[in-house]
Amino acid sequence: MSMTFAGRVAVVTGAGAGIGRATALAFAAQGLTVVVSDVDVVGGEATVRQIEASGGTAVFVRCDVTQEADVQHLMEQTISAFGRLDYAFNNAGIEIEHGRLADGTLDMFDAIMAVNVKGVWLCMKYQLPLMVAQGGGVIVNAASVAGLGAAPKMSIYAASKHAVIGLTKSAAIEYAKKKVRVNAVCPAVIDTDMFRRAYEADPRKADYAAAVHPVGRIGTVEEVASAVLYLCSEGAAFITGHALAVDGGTMAI
């Protein structure tokens, strides 16, 4: 796999923890300059310090992806500081729903859709023209296996991730001849702080989550980061409009 990343610039949203942080670190390890973005200033700045401690280059820009002005500012700051945007991992997302569809609330629906769908749309809205103007680029959006099938008791979340895949595929076709590739990663259950918070009260649920995956364990943030880097690499130059499951075989059942 060709990993010609040195000298390039990547933006990662939701990079203050979990998959976003792991991907920012992985980009930096390949020689990229990374623009770390999150609503969590403490987490985002901690990611920058980790990158710098390893000899990499990174800056933090606070961004609430539900706010158009914030997203526009993030992209403007990237171009102002580094003059280009080669890769974007639109990772910011939330998961706050654990109940049957009819038990959901309007506030819950609006919150999930605002971050997971509008946030991805806004990011691409401002990333795509920059990439087209410079002659190309790669966008990877964070979806989920919940966007590839059903997710009982997470119907709003599932709908949001189906929407991310729809945005991804549509943008990929619209911009294919502009040399901008757009793909999505679709993780299953991954060992993140969010996962640990959800299951720390009942270890039996964590064991069940592991058993759901045919490989017999949950995934790691580094494994998802590797998938993102692959989709950005020259080794994936003929891949666009794809939703890549990173799921330990879950969707093969």
pLDDT digits (tens, 9 = 90+) for 23-61: 999 999 999 999 999 999 999 999 999 999 999 999 999
* pLDDT over 90, % of the chain: 87
DSSP states along 19-32: HHHHHHHHHHHTT-
Residue 1 CA: distances (Å) to CA of 22, 191, 198, 223:
20, 26, 36, 16
Residue labelled with tokens 């991730």: 161
Question: Bridge partners of 35?
Answer: 11, 59
> What is the SS3 string spanning 191-219?
CCHHHHHHHCCCHHHHHHHHHHCCCCCCE
Phi/psi region, residue 101 (left: phi>0; alpha: psi -120 to 50; beta: rest), is alpha
164 pLDDT band (50/70/90 cuts)? very high
In angstroms, rounded to a whole number, what is the distance separating the alpha carbons of residues 5 and 222?
18
184-206 confidence digits (pLDDT tens): 999 999 998 877 776 766 777 77
The answer to whether 250 and 213 have CB atoms below 8 angstroms apart is yes
pLDDT of residue 201: 65
The count of other CB atoms within 10 Å of the CB of residue 202 is 10
Is the pLDDT at 2 greater than 60? The verdict is: no
Positions annotated as catalytic residues are: 157
pLDDT of residue 1: 47
Domains in the chain (CATH in brackets) are: 9-188+224-245 (3.40.50.720)
Can you tell me the mean pLDDT for 78-105?
94
Is the pLDDT at 111 greater than 80? The verdict is: yes
pTM of the predicted model, to two decimals?
Answer: 0.96
**H or E stretch including 134?**
helix 119-134
**Could you tell me which of 167, 185, 253 has the C-alpha nearest to residue 214?**
253
**Mean pLDDT, all residues of the chain:** 95
In angstroms, rounded to a whole number, what is the distance separating the alpha carbons of residues 216 and 208?
10
Burial environment of residue 41 by CB neighbours within 10 A (0 to 12, 13 to 18, 19 or more) = exposed
Q: Indicate the length of the chain as a whole number.
A: 253
